[in-house]
Structure 1
Amino acid sequence: MPGGSDMTLHQFLWRGENVFGDQEIISRTHDGIHRYTYSEYADRVRKLASALDEWGVEEGDRVATFAWNHHWHHETYFGVPCLGAQLHMINILLPDSHIQHIVEDAEDVLLFVDATMVEKLDAAYDEEAFDSVKQFVVMGDEVPDTDLDPVTDYESFIESGDPDFEFPEVSEDQPAGMCYTSGTTGKPKGVEYTHKMYWGHTMSIMTGELGLMNTDTELTIVPMFHVSGWGRPFATVASGATQVLPGPHPEPADIASLVENEGVNKTAGVPTVWRGLLQYAREADPDLSSLEYVMSGGSAAPPKLIDDYREELDAELVVGYGMTETSPVTHVAEHRTDTRDYEGDDLTELRAHAGLPSPGVMMKVIGDDGEEVPWDGESLGELLMKGPWVTTEYFNAPEKTKSSVTDDGWLRTGDIVRVTEDGYVDVVDRVDDLVKSGGEWISSVEVENRLMGHPRVAEAAVIPVDHPQWDERPVAFVVVDGDFDEDELREELKAYVAEEYPKWWAPDAIRFIDEVPKGSTGKFSKKTLVDEFIDDELKREVSESAPGSR
């Protein structure tokens, strides 16, 4: 006999409320700390769903959010999809033109906006692009000055909602969420997530070494406007873990305070967040002793950062991998049976991998000839993935789907990888970021990580620049702490790279900048580097360079 019900988010909400009803959600807001239990949370989720139903939201309608991580935003994560509608999380850090495109493309009918983000949304508002939005709701209990119309506050909106509202039956194939890619190669593209995709992804990230349990206290640093907060809001409710939400504009001091005061033992975010927290810890010496596991994703984590977290904070910084198109987590650099005794450099090398494929994910690596390459830790190729929470199409973008998904359903990631014999994936570079020098590939990611291993370097980004003889050569943009002599440090860094890699991998030019520009997801924005720093003088310096001997 088949199973008795579809795989939907309703089951996770039921478990959180009925089994772990006394567990807390702690939310930092723009005006303080808000605490309530999962039982109280579930009542408010039903009130929200009831209010949306009464307002006129129907099955399949898209309801947007434009907000940071707090309890109001979290309530929409279950209130909207459990009603049968689709939650569309808009990245608040995107430029206005992208926000306009996203709202118009998704045809959102109602939009929840963070009180701290009303001004930003006002600036992005365009009457034609926002034509489908018939109601704005400000998350909080009052409405600041705004031109958004019609508008009400969240607490007033749900006030008459029914805490005993009965959710409708929803198919596991019903779209539950939607996020858009960051638009680094054109306009952002929508990726839809069904209940079944969220269900499978949630069950996967609850397993393994970094899996969540009801005894954990998890700090959801990953923005809930970015790829569903990496699934952490769903997994905490499903597992019954205590959840801590950092609120608007979380700075290292805010993160440290929440870890110290709430006893956070697990968290996840991008490397820039963890570099900032480590620097703050060195200066302010907060009590971060509760931290056990810090998951890092979005871009490669330098081995030195992994070492520093273990040595200074006694916490394991573990790399994970995924994409907007994969809900997102597909790999985690966790232990195998034969690695449990690893220490020091061996353990750091393991944690620095993009990771082992998660349960439910299949992968293969395809070379330039279209054939699979062996898992030998050396052979390079493009990573392709397939699985229950890996998308097979883009929303309203058939041509992008055709170029990114094979006829038999494998997603082309655009990432060049190698795989060790025992299944650990290393992301070498994006296809577009590899430096092709004299017919050979140079990994910008590996050069960046080597540079960031130098004790003086805080950040480093490497991009290719045209060369008349060698096709392309690497150029590095580096952020350095403290005072230094540019010429001396430039030569020292080139030599430092050459100690680990062939001399011709060393950057032909190094520019020292105040900060590496970052995109809306916290990753280094190499497009911005090209636009702002690649000038005729730099091109001339590279064209006249003579890379180290091969």
Structure 2
Amino acid sequence: MLKGLMMEAPLSLIDVLDYGARIHRKAEIVSVTVEGGLHRQSYARTLERVARLAHGLVALGVKPGDRVATLAWNGYRHLELYYAIAGIGAVCHTINPRLPADQMAYIVNHADDSLLFFDTTFAPLVSGLRDQFPEHTRYVAMTDRAHMPDGQDLLCYEDLLDGRPDHYDWPELDENTACALCYTSGTTGAPKGALYSHRSCLLQAMFTMVCASGSFPVGDRVLPVVPMFHVNAWGLPYMAPLAGASLIMPGPALDGDSLFRLMDEESVDSAWGVPTVWLGLLAEMKRHGRKPGALKRVSIGGSAAPRSMVRAFEQDYQVDVMQGWGMTEMNPTGTMSTLTEGQAELPLEERIELKTTQGRQLFGVRMKLVDEDGNEVPQDGEAVGELLVKGPTVIRAYFNNDEASAKAFDKDGWFATGDMAKLTPDGVLYIVDRAKDLIKSGGEWISSIDLENLAAAHPDVQECAVIGVPHPKWDERPLLIVVPHADAARDKQALLDHMAGSIAKWQLPDDVIYVDELPHTATGKVSKRHLREDYMDYLGNAQ
């Protein structure tokens, strides 16, 4: 086969920051700090500090391939770690601080982290778990000398940079060199590690920017509420320097009031986060009677956005919504609900319908649907099958976990997502349900997502979840669990009547339970596993 006569120039993440520093000199990183107040610095200043940090890491003995852990909020020091660790050929292992203690201990040992950098917020957490972490792991508090927490053998982040050169001769790495490690939340067994490469991270950023055309104008101010401790904040730390967008980092303050004020004061144009975060922001917007001044766009991912949420942003506040779908194993984005030519002029309800799909598949992400026997089903927008994915941004195996890899990947390398879905001929994805969340009642399938969307459209519902619980006659029946708005009536029948007009009678939930809050996973999704455990015998006992 004849090969092109092209230069060998591997894709490298440090080149992203170098590009941002040279080309987009007006862009900045604004961070709400753990110590208090705001910190500002340009990409050029960030590149200098990243070079100093790289020298510090090498001085501590970090070698190519070593895993260096972070336990931190979205902030400028965390961003510096992203680039310095990857730049020297090591692996940035971001840890979700919301994980249960046993899972956190498992992943630090499984990754065999040589260093752990942590925001001082998490000093008690680190102190309490140190005896469960590897003996050789060393600890760096991400602060200056004046704010160091108590503790033996702690290193200081700013001391690590102090006096180091602000230039580093970055090695030319193979673009398939590992650069980042993120573990799944362990909802079905032990957490599994997704090990990303420079190539996959950079391609993912560029694919997303192309498919989210218009979402990254030069000079935009983007607020990543989606955490940097999970799947690289959906690639925003790489997209922003490429696009010339400023990053407004919220730190630990993720409540509606704090986000509203930060967006307002820093003229944030767009923000990215999960539905639970946007519930808090919408409540704050309702209280103020307006949106944050410059806000134009929000991106929603992590779990399906209720139709009522999309409508509130678009109709009440003229904020454009873009929903995305993906998985940790996909680094992470697979689809985005961007409108195609002419669709922006459609009536509001038709636009909302399009934006409550999971969106159109990104370039570089191949998708197919298969039945229970592994046979491919039509991509006609009607046939339902399990969704399989493949592509240069999808992992090909789990990190040091052959058993889990053998279960998740078929002989041709396709990754089984566990989602039941439909695909239209032009690549629009409709997630019907997680395979484990589908409810089989009397031999018929009921989608928990469809029921949740109907219930969430009722004005009294703040958040809800539907689970299948055992039934003596029908095998399973749907149970609706609702968190109502603070001033709302808890009227079961009114809610069921609202849903009854859109679905068959046999699909209606058998009961509605009102609760003050729903359990959530470490990544902000509703934990249906915990709900099933809590309500496993509910309908059986009710007979």
Q: Which of 316, 320, 344 is the matching residue for 2:320?
A: 316
Residue 145 of structure 1 and its aligned partner are, at CA, apart by 3.9
The answer for the alignment partner of 1:327 in structure 2 is 331
Unaligned runs of 5+ in 2: none
Question: CA 1:508/1:79 → structure 2, altered by over 3 Å: closer, same or farther?
Answer: same
Residue 367 of structure 1 and its aligned partner are, at CA, apart by 1.7
Q: Is structure 2 residue 268 aligned with structure 1 residue 268?
A: no
Residue 483 of structure 1 and its aligned partner are, at CA, apart by 5.2
Query: Secondary structure of the residue that 1:521 maps to in structure 2?
Result: coil
Letter in 1 for 2:427: G
Question: How far apart are the structure 1 equivalents of 2:363 and 2:166?
Answer: 36
Question: How far apart are the structure 2 equivalents of 1:170 and 1:268?
Answer: 31
Question: How far apart are the structure 2 equivalents of 1:536 and 1:517?
Answer: 18
Q: Is structure 2 residue 301 aligned with structure 1 residue 300?
A: no
Per-residue CA deviation, residues 100-133 of structure 1 (Å, 9 max, x unaligned), is: 0000000000110011111122223334x33241
The answer for the alignment partner of 1:89 in structure 2 is 94
Q: Is structure 2 residue 120 aligned with structure 1 residue 118?
A: no
Q: Is the 8 A contact 1:49 1:161 kept in 2?
A: no
Per-residue CA deviation, residues 438-481 of structure 1 (Å, 9 max, x unaligned), is: 11111111111110100100011011101122111111110112
Q: Is structure 2 residue 542 aligned with structure 1 residue 529?
A: no
Report which stretch shifted further, 275-284 or 362-371: 362-371
Question: How far apart are the structure 1 equivalents of 2:130 and 2:288?
Answer: 41
Q: Is the 8 A contact 2:217 2:243 kept in 1?
A: yes
Q: Which of 481, 493, 505 is the matching residue for 2:485?
A: 481
Q: Is the 8 A contact 2:364 2:391 kept in 1?
A: yes
Residue 485 of structure 1 and its aligned partner are, at CA, apart by 5.6
Q: Is the 8 A contact 1:289 1:313 kept in 2?
A: no
Q: Is the 8 A contact 1:306 1:352 kept in 2?
A: yes
Q: Is the 8 A contact 1:119 1:146 kept in 2?
A: no
Query: Secondary structure of the residue that 1:80 maps to in structure 2?
Result: helix
The answer for the alignment partner of 1:547 in structure 2 is none
Query: Secondary structure of the residue that 2:63 maps to in structure 1?
Result: coil
What is the TM-score when the length of structure 2 is the normalising length? 0.96
Question: How far apart are the structure 1 equivalents of 2:77 and 2:263?
Answer: 21
Question: CA 1:286/1:74 → structure 2, altered by over 3 Å: closer, same or farther?
Answer: farther
Mapping of residues 71-90 of structure 1, within 5 Å: 71-90=76-95
Aligned length: 536
Letter in 1 for 2:171: P
Q: Is structure 2 residue 208 aligned with structure 1 residue 205?
A: yes
Letter in 2 for 1:427: I
Q: Which of 439, 444, 455 is the matching residue for 2:443?
A: 439
Mapping of residues 101-500 of structure 1, within 5 Å: 101-127=106-132, 129-133=133-137, 135-142=138-145, 144-147=148-151, 149-207=152-210, 208-209=212-213, 211-285=215-289, 287-482=291-486, 486=490, 489-500=491-502
Question: How far apart are the structure 2 equivalents of 1:483 and 1:306?
Answer: 22
Q: Is the 8 A contact 1:104 1:132 kept in 2?
A: no
Report which stretch shifted further, 331-340 or 429-438: 331-340
Q: Is the 8 A contact 1:271 1:296 kept in 2?
A: yes
Question: CA 1:285/1:59 → structure 2, altered by over 3 Å: closer, same or farther?
Answer: same
Question: CA 1:82/1:423 → structure 2, altered by over 3 Å: closer, same or farther?
Answer: same
Letter in 2 for 1:539: G
The answer for the alignment partner of 1:548 in structure 2 is none
Query: Secondary structure of the residue that 2:501 maps to in structure 1?
Result: helix
Question: How far apart are the structure 2 equivalents of 1:537 and 1:387?
Answer: 43
State the Cα RMSD in Å. 1.5
The answer for the alignment partner of 1:539 in structure 2 is 540
Residue 15 of structure 1 and its aligned partner are, at CA, apart by 0.6
Residue 540 of structure 1 and its aligned partner are, at CA, apart by 2.1
Q: Is the 8 A contact 2:67 2:92 kept in 1?
A: yes
Letter in 2 for 1:80: I
Query: Secondary structure of the residue that 1:337 maps to in structure 2?
Result: coil
Percent identity, please. 37
Q: Is the 8 A contact 1:497 1:503 kept in 2?
A: no
Q: Is the 8 A contact 1:198 1:327 kept in 2?
A: yes
Residue 261 of structure 1 and its aligned partner are, at CA, apart by 1.4
Q: Is the 8 A contact 1:416 1:429 kept in 2?
A: yes
Question: CA 1:436/1:537 → structure 2, altered by over 3 Å: closer, same or farther?
Answer: closer
Question: How far apart are the structure 2 equivalents of 1:64 and 1:278?
Answer: 34
Question: CA 1:440/1:535 → structure 2, altered by over 3 Å: closer, same or farther?
Answer: closer
Residue 258 of structure 1 and its aligned partner are, at CA, apart by 1.8
Unaligned runs of 5+ in 1: 545-550
Query: Secondary structure of the residue that 1:340 maps to in structure 2?
Result: helix
Per-residue CA deviation, residues 8-42 of structure 1 (Å, 9 max, x unaligned), is: 11221121111112321111112110001111111
Question: CA 1:466/1:55 → structure 2, altered by over 3 Å: closer, same or farther?
Answer: same
Question: How far apart are the structure 1 equivalents of 2:136 and 2:513?
Answer: 46
Q: Is the 8 A contact 1:288 1:313 kept in 2?
A: no
Question: How far apart are the structure 1 equivalents of 2:259 and 2:214?
Answer: 20
Question: How far apart are the structure 2 equivalents of 1:396 and 1:175?
Answer: 13
Letter in 2 for 1:368: E
